[in-house]
């Protein structure tokens, strides 16, 4: 049998046509698939907001950015955390309230204002409860710190990690403070927390709770005589310009804390929740290093700026005056204080 040449040519042409059509279909199909994939990737990328009171280059903010970087890494870019520094989302107390009802996803704040939402936190910020920074970190990174982070869920927060906030000292615009007696009658701004109000009362001075961002002008206009904070905040808030008498009494070590909204976290997969928690924990060392570096620099800067720094070697007068605050604690809080006191810690270099 012979195969007619014309039929052969026809067949070849047809096969060519079929091939071309299927190629076109494959091309169109894969383009559509790529577009759909991109769309779903976009839909899956979640942007969460973090509120921070401090400026962009402050050590706590550096911790926030490190946290954001790690969340991105651990979720393969599915979750982006945007850091709103410099109070862009409001003062701390307002930010905490918004995190509580899920309007803001995360905030890095001092535990002081959080303690008004969950009072057992007071145990972690009692005056002179820690003997040193290394004592505080031994407590925060051990079982007591972990317990507290998980217990604040009762107030609709997910406790993620602690950051360093150093020690706080009193400062004012009026005179040098060498002993508790010198504080008498002076009006000091305190953070918005019952414990802080009680503390200034215990020292015989007048407490005035107010948001951090209002302190500079209150000092400048004489609405208050002084405030209290660590070296970095004293510098970056410019309070040192309007209240130059600074006394190193170290009455408080108030841990900084990173909290998430429980409402928001509950909506995430278990895997994403774990990634966020791990990112927070893994950002701590970075923040502590940034803190240590900047605390030294800030102290040097305010000393060089001509502030009158009163170095107190004996703080026993302050300790005695604040002892009655411990009587106000509940038995459970006092039990935590006892455990803090019993926590062994390495000596500081």
Return residues touching ligand GTR (CB under 6 A).
53, 60, 92, 109-110, 165, 191, 212, 229-230, 233, 256
Complex with ligand GTR: residue 111 or 307, whichever CB lies closer: 111
Residue whose CB is less far from ligand GTR, 51 or 322: 51
Q: How far is the CB of 279 from ligand GTR (least distance, A)?
A: 20
Q: Which of 329, 324, 335, 4 is nearest to 180 (CA)?
A: 324
Q: Which residues 6+ apart lie within 8 Å of 192 measured at CB?
A: 92, 93, 112, 113, 116, 209, 210, 211
Nearest to ligand GTR of 80, 301 (CB atom): 301
Task: Please state the closest distance from residue 163 (CB atom) to ligand GTR, in A.
Answer: 8
What residues form DSSP beta bridges with 161? Answer: 258
Give the pairing of strands 168-172 and 226-229: antiparallel
3-state secondary structure of 112: helix
Neighbours of 36 (CB within 10 A): 10
Q: Between the CA of residue 177 and those of 104, 183, 202, 245, what are the distances in Å?
A: 40, 7, 16, 7
Q: How far is the CB of 192 from ligand GTR (least distance, A)?
A: 8
Nearest to 260 by CA among 240, 275, 241: 275
- Report, in Å, the least distance between residue 285 CB and ligand GTR: 18
CB nearer to ligand GTR: pick between 66 and 275: 66
CB of 230 to ligand GTR, least distance (A): 5
- Nearest to ligand GTR of 53, 261 (CB atom): 53
Q: Where are the beta strands (DSSP E) in the chain?
A: 46-52, 79-84, 106-110, 157-163, 168-172, 187-190, 206-209, 226-229, 245-252, 256-261, 308-310
CB 201 within 8 A of CB 161: no
Choice between 48 and 114, CB closer to ligand GTR = 114
Minimum CB–partner distance for residue 74 and ligand GTR (Å) = 26
């Amino acid at each position: 049998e012979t195969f007619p040449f014309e039929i052969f040519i026809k067949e070849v042409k047809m096969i060519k046509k079929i091939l071309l059509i299927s190629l076109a279909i494959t091309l169109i199909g894969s383009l559509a698939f790529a577009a759909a994939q991109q769309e779903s990737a976009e839909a899956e990328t979640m942007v969460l907001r973090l509120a921070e009171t401090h400026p962009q280059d402050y050590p706590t903010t550096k911790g926030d950015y490190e946290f954001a970087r790690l969340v991105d890494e651990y979720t393969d870019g599915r979750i982006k955390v945007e850091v709103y520094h410099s109070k862009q989302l409001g003062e701390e107390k307002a930010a905490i309230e918004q995190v509580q009802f899920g309007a803001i996803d995360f905030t890095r704040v001092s535990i002081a204002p959080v303690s008004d939402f969950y009072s057992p936190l007071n145990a972690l910020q009692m005056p002179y409860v820690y003997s040193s920074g290394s004592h505080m970190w031994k407590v925060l990174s051990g079982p007591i710190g972990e317990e507290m982070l998980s217990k604040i869920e009762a107030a609709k927060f997910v406790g993620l990690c602690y950051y360093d906030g150093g020690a706080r000292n009193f400062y004012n615009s009026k005179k040098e403070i060498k002993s508790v007696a010198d504080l008498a009658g002076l009006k000091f701004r305190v953070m918005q927390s019952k414990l802080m109000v009680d503390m200034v009362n215990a020292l015989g001075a007048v407490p005035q709770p107010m948001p951090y961002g209002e302190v500079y002008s209150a000092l400048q206009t004489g609405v208050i005589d002084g405030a209290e904070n660590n070296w970095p905040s004293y510098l970056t808030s410019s309070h040192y310009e309007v209240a130059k008498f600074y006394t190193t009494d170290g009455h408080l070590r108030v841990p900084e804390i990173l909290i998430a909204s429980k409402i928001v976290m509950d909506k995430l997969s278990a895997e994403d929740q774990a990634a966020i928690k791990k990112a927070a924990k893994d950002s701590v060392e970075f923040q502590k290093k940034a803190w240590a570096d900047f605390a030294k620099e800030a102290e040097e800067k305010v000393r060089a700026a001509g502030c009158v720094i009163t170095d107190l070697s004996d703080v026993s007068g302050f300790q005695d005056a604040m002892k009655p605050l411990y009587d106000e604690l509940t038995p459970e809080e006092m039990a935590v204080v006892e455990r803090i006191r019993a926590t062994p810690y390495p000596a500081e270099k």
